[in-house]
Amino acid sequence: MATLSKPSADQFRNDVYAITRLIPVGRVSSYGSIASSIGAKGAARRVGWVLNGSFSVVPAIPAHRVVNRLGLLTGRVHFPENMPMEELLRAEGVAVEQNRVVNFEELHWDPMVECEIE
């Protein structure tokens, strides 16, 4: 659809979606890493805001694989009640304990480091 959004914002959203879809199953990423990888370092907040609108997007965006830099499931409250973040992660083999990803350091998938994009 021809959105009235600014081009830069549109591209930002597009990039966030693209990166998020690249997160392998069983791995997790973080807002800051994603923001950094798309050249928007420090704009981690925007990433979360963009992901908030990813629920009605197809193909589905694995937004549940994105947590904050401490491995905390900060965005769990924004997920549908029938599809909790925790549940989705566990279904992919990611252990979650107390709203926190277990072995986050090992499971953390950084787009810039793992794939060396750009």
Q: What value, to the nearest 5°, has the Cα angle with vertex 29 and ends 57 and 10? A: 40
User: Which residues are registered as beta bridge partners of 28?
Assistant: 108
- CA–CA separation, 10 vs 87, rounded Å? 30
The b-or-e profile of 65-94 (16+ CB within 10 A means b, else e) is bbbbeebebbbbeebeeeebbbebbeeeeb
Q: How far is the CB of 95 from DNA (least distance, A)?
A: 18
Residues 63 to 82 in contact with DNA, rule: CB under 7 A:
63-64, 66, 68-70, 74-75, 77-79
Q: Please tell me whether residue 6 binds DNA under the rule CB under 7 A.
A: yes
Q: Please tell me whether residue 99 binds DNA under the rule CB under 7 A.
A: no
Of the candidate residues 41, 83, 87, 103, the single one contacting DNA (CB under 7 A): 41
Q: How far is the CB of 1 from DNA (least distance, A)?
A: 14
- CA–CA separation, 69 vs 81, rounded Å? 24
Which residues are near DNA by CB under 7 A? Answer: 6, 8-9, 30-32, 35-36, 40-46, 48-49, 51-52, 54-55, 63-64, 66, 68-70, 74-75, 77-79, 85
